[in-house]
Amino acid sequence: MEQVKSILCAALGFLCLTVVGGIGFIWKMYHNQQELYSMMNGLVGERGQVASSIDVNQPIIQRVVSQSQVWRPVQKKVKDTVVQIFAQTAEFNMLEPYKAPTQKTSRGSGFFIRYEGNVCLITNAHVINQAKAIWFQVPSMGKQFLDAEIKGISPDHDLALLQLTNESSSRIEKELGKIPALELGDSDLVRRSDEVMALGYPLGQQSLKSTTGVISGREQHMIQMSAAINPGSSGGPLLNSNGDVIGVNFAGVVGAQNVGYIIPINDLKIILPDLYEIPLLRKPFLGVLYNNATESLTEFLGNPKPGGCYVIEVVKGSTLYKAGVQRGDMIYAINGHKLDMYGEMNVPWSEDKVSIVDYVSRLSVGQDVHLVVYRNGHRKTMNVKFSQTELPPIRTVYPGFEDIDYEVVAGMVIMPLTINHIQILAQGASGLAKYAEIKNQTEPQLVVTHIFSTSELYKSRTLSLGATINEVNGVKVRTLEDLRGAFKSGVGNKFLTIKASDHIMRSSENVFVALPFEKVLAQEEQMAKDYHYPLSDTVKQLLKSTKTV
Given a cut of 90, whether residue 239 has pLDDT beyond it is yes
235 touches 122 (CB < 8 A)? yes
The band of 403, judged by pLDDT with boundaries at 50, 70 and 90, is very high
Cβ(343)–Cβ(290) under 8 Å?
A: yes
Q: Do domains 288-385 and 407-548 have the same CATH topology?
A: no
What CATH number is given for 288-385 in this structure?
Answer: 2.30.42.10
Q: What is the pLDDT of residues 190-219, one digit of tens each?
A: 888 899 999 999 888 888 888 888 998 887
Give the per-residue SS3 of 401-423.
CECCCCEEECCEEEEECCHHHHH
pLDDT class for 45, splitting at 50, 70, 90?
very low
User: Residue 12's pLDDT is what?
Assistant: 47
Crossing angle of the two packed helices 537-548 and 480-489, in degrees rounded to 10 = 10
CA pair distance 232, 252, nearest whole angstrom: 11
| Angstrom distance (rounded) from CA 346 to CA 544 | 67
Per-residue pLDDT reduced to its tens digit, 339-379: 999 999 999 888 888 899 888 888 888 889 999 999 999 99
Model confidence at 49: pLDDT above 50: no
With a cut of 90, say whether residue 25 has pLDDT above it: no
CATH code of the domain made up of 407-548: 3.20.190.20
Cα distance between residue 286 and residue 277, in whole Å: 23
Average pLDDT over residues 27-37: 50
- Give the H or E element holding residue 547: helix 537-548
pLDDT tens-place string over residues 411-432? 999 999 999 999 999 888 989 9
Phi, psi (deg, nearest 5) at residue 110: -160, 170
Task: Tell me which H or E stretch contains 84.
Answer: strand 82-91
Q: What is the rounded CA–CA span in Å between residue 405 and residue 423? A: 18
In contact, 435 and 384? CB cutoff 8 Å: no
Q: What percent of the chain has pLDDT over 70?
A: 85
Model confidence at 9: pLDDT above 70: no
Distance CA 243, CA 261 (A): 19
Lowest mean pLDDT segment, chosen from 384-393, 417-426, 455-464? 384-393
Taking only the tens place, the pLDDT of each residue in 150-178 is 999 999 999 999 999 999 999 999 999 99
DSSP conformation class of 99: S
Where is pLDDT greater, at 50 or 168? 168
**What CA–CA distance (Å, rounded) separates 218 from 351?**
9
CATH class of 80-176: mainly beta
Contacts of 160 (CB under 8 A, 6+ apart): 122, 123, 124, 125, 127, 128, 150, 152, 153, 154, 275
Radius of gyration of the chain (CA): 33
- Mean pLDDT over residues 442-446, rounded? 94
Give the C-alpha separation, 324 to 95, whole Å: 40
CATH number of 187-277: 2.40.10.10
| Model pTM score | 0.80
Rounded Cα gap, residues 418 and 406, in angstroms: 12
Average pLDDT over residues 427-438: 90
Q: Are 221 and 252 a contacting pair, CB within 8 Å?
A: no
Type of residue found at 436: A
**Which whole-number Å values give the CA distances from 501 to 62, 111, 298, 420, 514, in the listed order?**
70, 49, 41, 19, 15
At 536, the pLDDT band (50, 70, 90 cuts) reads very high
Query: Domain residues of the chain, as ranges?
Result: 80-176, 187-277, 288-385, 407-548
Distance, CA of 142 to CA of 236 (rounded, Å): 18
Average per-residue pLDDT for the chain: 86
> For 302-369, where are the alpha helices, taking DSSP H only?
319-323, 356-360
